[in-house]
Amino acid sequence: MKRLAILGSTGSIGVNTLNVARHLKDEVCIEALAAKSNIDLLEQQVKEFKPKIIAVFDSEKALELQRRLPKSTILTGMDGLNAVASYPSANLVISAMTGTLGLIPTMKALESRKNVGLANKEALVSGGSLVMSLAESNGCKIIPIDSEHSALFQCLKGEEPKTVHRLILTASGGPFRNYTAEQLSQITVDCALRHPTWSMGPKVTIDSSTLMNKGLEVIEAYWLFGIPIEKIEVVVHPQSLIHSIVEFVDGSMLAQMSEPSMIVPIQYAITYPERRKGIHPYYDFLKNPLIQFFPPDVNKFPCLQLAYDAIRTGGSLPCYMNAANEVLVNRFIARQFSWQEIPIRLEKLMTRHQTKKISSLEDVLAVDEIARQEAIL
């Protein structure tokens, strides 16, 4: 039986995780749920899945939910998230909160020797070395949920890392792939929030439009698979059918394909190392016979290059970049500046940052805080 604790159950990944749990109800149960403040949806989830504990990060909302559900155990704040992440009977923690804050309960889950289904890419970008070494020393598996990393994870199963020539992450290219310079200067928040192939939360949708999402994924792949950064490439594949490719030294390539739906990688993370019948109808190749590849344009989308620069420099820079980007994306959504200013402001901030060594969770949180203070100005 897979007994899940879900961090971020009310988000896009969280809701799809519960869809999979409903589909596999004879072998998946829900032990613990956590969200930030969306107690209306959380209340429905609690009534349907009957978790043993619930965490609501926002303390007033936690009190309100406790009033609505007097018999439930409802915790709040970081202690609440950590309690969900380390709930004794859970054997798989789905890390699906947005933002770097998700690093804290993810580390708590690993400290408690839980396997983790990881969607929260910010945790690996900010604290990749800490997360991976804790997972290794505690014998925990990190099973990626991001579709590209799930694809790579599936293609690498049973293969020797030294036989890998390249990891090729595919990118849809986002909604502005074919925009001219003139069109890029007129992008509005509403059109940046409309992704052509994936339905996701607002932060990751904006990151997809700037290609920062792909940059974060490059860093995520670097930590997850221990492959040198020179061997991790990105190719634009607008149909989003091939989720990523591993090329081996003999020239053979393995690619993983499926409908562009997060249900597939979420279900794989839950049933791993086994497979179960999926939710979607099987794919009809004739429905979409076109599969294309293009190089990413880092002049139009400089965020991808900034992410490569950050991981090549290493130390605190990826953590700094990730937090500064998060603030800038929120400021763009709040209509404080244009879409094109996101990479311009980010590059300026990164250039000023004095990179230091990261050795602890406290180091990560300190750099994260500095980045947030500097990016808000």
Ligand X SMILES: NC(=O)c1ccc[n+]([C@@H]2O[C@H](COP(=O)([O-])OP(=O)(O)OC[C@H]3O[C@@H](n4cnc5c(N)ncnc54)[C@H](OP(=O)(O)O)[C@@H]3O)[C@@H](O)[C@H]2O)c1
CB of 316 to ligand X, least distance (A): 20
Query: Binding residue for ligand X (CB under 6 A) from 119, 125, 151, 218?
Result: 119
User: Of the listed pieces 91-99, 179-187, 298-306, 364-372, which binds ligand X according to CB under 6 A?
Assistant: 91-99
349 touching ligand X, by CB under 6 A? no
Alpha helices in 193-340 (DSSP H): 202-210, 212-225, 263-271, 302-313, 317-333
User: Of the listed pieces 90-98, 132-140, 231-239, 299-307, which binds ligand X according to CB under 6 A?
Assistant: 90-98
Nearer to ligand X, 31 or 122 (CB): 122
Query: Binding residue for ligand X (CB under 6 A) from 4, 5, 11, 135?
Result: 11
Nearer to ligand X, 184 or 193 (CB): 193
Query: Binding residue for ligand X (CB under 6 A) from 17, 98, 208, 261?
Result: 98
Nearer to ligand X, 79 or 159 (CB): 79
100 touching ligand X, by CB under 6 A? no
Count helices and strands (H / E) in the chain: 16, 11
d(CA 125, CA 218): 9
Which residues, at least 6 apart from 175, have a Cβ–Cβ distance to it below 8 Å?
Answer: 191, 192, 194, 195, 196, 209
- DSSP, residue by residue, 203-219: HHHHHHHHTHHHHHHHH
197 touching ligand X, by CB under 6 A? no
* β-bridge pairing 242-248 and 164-171: antiparallel
318 touching ligand X, by CB under 6 A? no
CB of 215 to ligand X, least distance (A): 12
The token pair that represents 308 in the structure block = 């490569």
Q: Give residues 130-159 in contact with ligand X (rule: CB under 6 A).
A: 146
Query: Binding residue for ligand X (CB under 6 A) from 65, 74, 110, 200?
Result: 200
Query: Binding residue for ligand X (CB under 6 A) from 8, 144, 296, 343?
Result: 8
Query: Binding residue for ligand X (CB under 6 A) from 68, 132, 184, 198?
Result: 198
Nearer to ligand X, 73 or 355 (CB): 73
The token pair that represents 122 in the structure block = 């910010």
The CA dihedral of 76, 78, 82, 85, to the nearest 10 degrees, is 80
**Sheet of 28-35: strands edge to edge?**
74-76, 53-56, 28-35, 2-7, 92-95, 115-118, 142-144
236 touching ligand X, by CB under 6 A? no
208 touching ligand X, by CB under 6 A? no
The token pair that represents 376 in the structure block = 């808000």
User: Of the listed pieces 118-126, 218-226, 227-235, 278-286, which binds ligand X according to CB under 6 A?
Assistant: 118-126
* β-bridge pairing 232-236 and 242-248: unpaired
75 touching ligand X, by CB under 6 A? no
Which residues, at least 6 apart from 127, have a Cβ–Cβ distance to it below 8 Å?
Answer: 103, 107, 319, 358, 361, 364
d(CA 105, CA 284): 40
Residues that bind ligand X (CB under 6 A): 8-14, 34-38, 57, 81, 96-99, 101, 119-122, 146, 198, 200-201, 204, 262
